[in-house]
Structure 1
Amino acid sequence: MRTLYVSQQNCYVCLQQETLLVKQGETIYGEVQLPLLEQVLIFGKSQVSTQAIRACLWRDIPITYLSRMGFCYGRILPIARGYRQLSRYQQQLSPVEKLISARAIVQAKLKNSRVLMRRQRKRLESQVIENVLQSLDYLANQAVGADSVERLIGFEGAGAAQYFSAFAECLTNTDFVFTARTRRPPGNPVNAMLSFGYQVLWNHLLALIELQGLDPYYACLHQAHDSHAALASDLIEEFRAPIVDSLVLWLVNSKVVNSQKDFDYRDGGCYLNDSGRRKYLQAFLQRMEEEIQTDSGEKQPKWDLLTQQVKAYKRFVYNPSFLYQPYQIR
């Protein structure tokens, strides 16, 4: 199944028989057959025809509207998505069951961050990275015994601060400077790519959560509110380092992105421009289509990891005795 990204500005998405076309005037930038489509992401100022929207709703294909920087404005969903049978089971999870799941999520995030740093240490001699490895190991062990979600969030925050303190050590392209993680707004090109990547991945997970019939507003670690689908924020944690952070390091160190040409500075922040978004999304798609070997010896694209984890969480909701096991890299 495919996701249709419309990142070029002022495009028009229309329906031609069983195919969505992305056009600008008479120029066709992309096309995808509806039976192969899982979701549509519209970045910035592009239009979708009523016929295309109706066809997507008929086939249970959500359409997401985002700013050019990746902020999600909202989603178009079929009416059936509003009736969630699993929501009742999610609400019935006990505080202990949710805490156990939250522990596993935080521990997996810290361990995945540590694995990525360990891989960087193999090619770089850095005492900073060595110190961060020890800190992440300690915090992951502490998370196992956390007696509240508040303490877990504290361990997660401390781990993120340690992790990003060493992130600059992993950047070998001197055109990119990174001193700390800044989000609202992102303060430099590295932060711009991290924020954009997390938003893209978050929206993918949100679509999968809805496709599986889960209620995205009932989670274990994060608190939901009217505009925050907390379950997507829970499930993204285990994928930040292996998918987004590793991709950003590759884009920078391989000089795929240009610090001057692929970013805009405005409104007090730094954001990917049209060319930067195209480069990022192209690399993201290629990365997610790569095959990896499972524990059973079979090969699967990285896309399947996302679906696999959402389904694992669904099994946990139906039967909490099957504890949720987050994805961990080795």
Structure 2
Amino acid sequence: MSGEFNLIDKYFVNRQPQRKDVHLAAGDDCALVKPPSNVEIAISTDTLVAGTHFLPEANPAWVAHKALSSNISDLAAMGATPAWVSFALTMPEVDEEWLAPFCDSFFELADYFGIQLIGGDTTKGPLSLTLTVQGFVPEGKALRRDGAKVGDWIYVTGNLGDSKAGLEVLLDTENRVRPNAEELEKRHYLSTPRVLAGRALCDLASSAIDISDGVIADLKHILKRSEVGASIDVSLLPLSVELLEYATSIDKAQHYALTSGEEYELCFTVPEENKGSLESALAHAGTKVTCIGQIRPVDYFEIHDNNKPLNWDLSGYDHFKAK
């Protein structure tokens, strides 16, 4: 990319305070970092591609927030505290009017969560963003997908369904006249990673995952890894007032909630003996939690409404099928 090093110096270098565990962040072939003792390092890499994960004309500040928050959410799902991020940016040409608000938003969110940019790359090509985030979790305490047991309760953080409604608004301008369209579009991009909730769950939850492909699709990852089944009560799904008004019926809103991708809320399971401690443990986390069902024996899977079975054909979000 023309002027690569000038671009890096102008937009990415010396934008943040230096973390004590970062010994070298820029100016050499590699970054040098030193993690604290008695922790494991959680690492996650995601790529966002223009036209697949965001529209090329989307607000660059929102794109930056979405790119980083989706990665932070992976750390939150394992109970990790974010620490470092590497970022590779591919652009068809240098566009400083796009890059300036993008970087302002990126570093604002990074600073909020105490994450330092420690390296990356810039190249010329179709617009895409690849981030690798790393964080710390106490040794042996990481939340995983394979710990759910029969009888555990299934919970989610926040509300579900808003992101899918916001995506509809983005993809079809006719939806812009529907109630709360602008707010739901904003929520599609501006998720809140549940880092504090994830950390609090390390001693309480038996399994966890972040909701990137829809709660039904992502819960099934837990069920597969844990070799269990589940029962979900749609009457318990947490729905925002804005979604209910947009969807026009509770059934439609529930469908949104079950299949909405890129929510970046947490879905987790809690043993009966830890259920009573959940509210106090998450009091400082800044989000509500809702019990939506219970873990059942393997090969059992049911969606019901107050014990009335529902034969709904549901599928989660698929990046390769999304239009």
The structure that is strand-richer by fraction is 2
Q: TM-score with structure 2 length normalisation?
A: 0.26
TM-score for both structures, normalised by structure 1: 0.26
Which structure is richer in relative contact order (CA contacts within 8 A, separation 6 or more)?
2
